[in-house]
Amino acid sequence: MVILKLRKPSWSRSKKRKPSWTKSLLHAVNGLFFQLVNHGMSSHLVDEAREVWREFFQPMEIKQKYTNTSKIYEGYGSRLGIEKGAILDWSDYYFLNYLPSTLKDHNKWPSQPPLDVTEEYSNEIVRLGKVLLKVFSINLGLQDDYLQDAFGGNDIGACIFESEFLPKMSTTRLNTRTIISFNDFPSPG
C-alpha cells in the first residue's frame, strides 16, 4: 500500500513539487488505495468517532431501529435490502448521506453515537477530501479547484461513515472508510 505524506510543501504551488511525491501520488491513484499521513485530522477525533461507532454496533435492538430497506439504502444493514429481524452473517454497516445537504437526513442518523461526533468527523473528512482534490489537481498540472469543481464544487457528493464491524474475524475491528464514486467529468482540454 502506498503511503502519502500530506504536508503543505507537497501540494503548494509556491514550492516546486518533488518528483517522489508525484510518483507516490501516481502509484496511489493507480492502486486505488493509499494511506494518508500528516493529514491534519485530530487523532482524538478519529479515536472518538471509532469508539462511539463501535459502541453503536454492539446492541442489536438499537441497530434494528435504523435498518435500511430494499428501497432506502441509507441506514444499518449487512447488505442492501436487509429486513428487520434478519440474522446478519458477515458484516454490519451504517451508510449515511452527508453531502449534498439536500440528501442529509438527520432522522436517519442514530442518536447513539452522538450526532455532534459524527457531524464533526464528517466535516473533517469533507475538509480533507477538498485538500486531496486540490493536491490531485495541482499534481496533474490543473487549476487548484479543477477536480473539486468537476465533482460538483461545494455540493460534491459524500457518503460518510460506511462503517463496518466485522464480528466473525479472529480479530474484531471497526473500519471506517469514505468511498468516492467517480462519475464522468469534463477533460481539462
Instruction: List pLDDT tens digits, range 25-72.
Output: 777 667 667 777 778 888 899 889 888 887 777 777 777 777 877 777
Q: 160: helix, coil or strand? A: strand
Predicted confidence at residue 180, as pLDDT, reads 43
Predicted confidence at residue 171, as pLDDT, reads 42
What residue has cell string 502506498? 2
Confidence class for position 146, pLDDT limits 50, 70, 90: very high
* Higher pLDDT among residues 107 and 22, named by residue: 107
- Give the residue among 14, 34, 8, 12 at the shortest CA–CA distance from 23: 34
What residue has cell string 440528501? 103
Lowest mean pLDDT across 42-56, 95-109, 112-126, 175-189: 175-189
Residue ranges of domains in the chain: 1-38, 41-179
Strand partners, 5: 37
* Higher pLDDT among residues 29 and 181, named by residue: 29
Residue 7 has pLDDT above 70, yes or no: no
| Sign of the four-CA dihedral 63, 65, 70, 75 | negative
Dist CA 45 CA 64 (whole Å) = 26
Per the prediction, the chain carries an average pLDDT of 70
| Sign of the four-CA dihedral 73, 78, 80, 84 | negative
Dist CA 157 CA 102 (whole Å) = 10
- Give the residue among 4, 27, 10 at the shortest CA–CA distance from 135: 10
Top CATH class of 41-179 equals: mainly beta
Residues 74-82, mean pLDDT to the nearest whole number: 62
Dist CA 79 CA 88 (whole Å) = 9
Most confident of 15-19, 149-153, 162-166: 149-153
